[in-house]
Amino acid sequence: MTSLTISKRLQTIARYCPEGARVADIGSDHALLASYLLVKGIASFVIAGELNEGPFQAAKKQIHTLQVKDRASVRKGNGLAVLEPGEADVVCIAGMGGQLIVSILEAGLPKLEGVQRLILQPNVGEEAVRRWLLNQGWQLVAETILKEDGIIYEILVAERGVPTVPYENKDRPQEDLLRIGPFLWEEKSEILLEKWSSEAEKWQKVLLQLQRSDKPEAAQRIAEIEREVKWINEVIACLRTDKP
């Protein structure tokens, strides 16, 4: 079988796939993750789901070159609609916004029957994903934050369990941890500090612009953003001082 190089982000996702699992990668684009899981002998079977024709054709071509017909299925469709219940042990959804990931999971709830692990990598909107997991009985079991080509990514891994567990006995309220990530908060990595520092910078710039505005609604927005910046700065201060 041919070798395959994929991004550090996708390799990290692959590391969370248990050996021998049947893995569905939803929104697979060129099916790079699915191919890697086969080439490395991690997955016993992969399903690559794609909504759009271009990436679907690219995924089919990619899987065809691997000559693994009996261990892969490339399917065109919306989200989890491409799956039959009980077909996958692991579902990966990566490289989309958190809200889109949530809507895919929500629309495909019956298809999650039998799925043991979710590996989710929202590009933005991680809080929405953590909140959905918490409300749907999925327990976060791991989180990773990584930087590649100047972009910071978060990967969330969840299994069926007691979803409140990762938020219990922590030195921050659940609402804060839904935003930050309970495991990421425990780890307090430099990348997490970088993420929240750049969030603070972003909001500071918005504040400066709003402070120059004479629109009547600006005052209320300024007050909201000032509260946000205060919250972020307090998070940053803890990340700097409370290293484990």
Can you give the binding site for ligand SAM, defined by CB under 6 A?
10, 26-29, 49-52, 55, 78-79, 94-96, 104
The SS3 call for residue 82 is helix
By C-beta, is 158 or 232 nearer to ligand SAM?
158
Shortest Å, Cβ 225 to ligand SAM: 29
Shortest Å, Cβ 206 to ligand SAM: 26
- What is the rounded CA–CA span in Å between residue 161 and residue 239? 29
By C-beta, is 29 or 126 nearer to ligand SAM?
29
By C-beta, is 74 or 134 nearer to ligand SAM?
74
Token reading at 207? 């504040």
Helices (H), 67-136: 98-107, 126-135
By C-beta, is 78 or 211 nearer to ligand SAM?
78
Helices (H), 40-120: 53-66, 98-107
The dihedral sign for the CA sequence 238, 230, 173, 182? negative
Q: In what order do the strands lie in the sheet with 151-160?
A: 72-76, 43-50, 21-26, 90-96, 117-122, 151-160, 138-148
- What is the rounded CA–CA span in Å between residue 180 and residue 199? 12
Shortest Å, Cβ 82 to ligand SAM: 8
With contact defined as beta carbons under 8 Å apart, do 82 and 26 qualify? yes
Shortest Å, Cβ 10 to ligand SAM: 6
Shortest Å, Cβ 138 to ligand SAM: 19
By C-beta, is 96 or 133 nearer to ligand SAM?
96
By C-beta, is 88 or 104 nearer to ligand SAM?
104
Going by C-alpha positions, the residue among 192, 186, 189 that lies closest to residue 170 is 186
Shortest Å, Cβ 148 to ligand SAM: 11
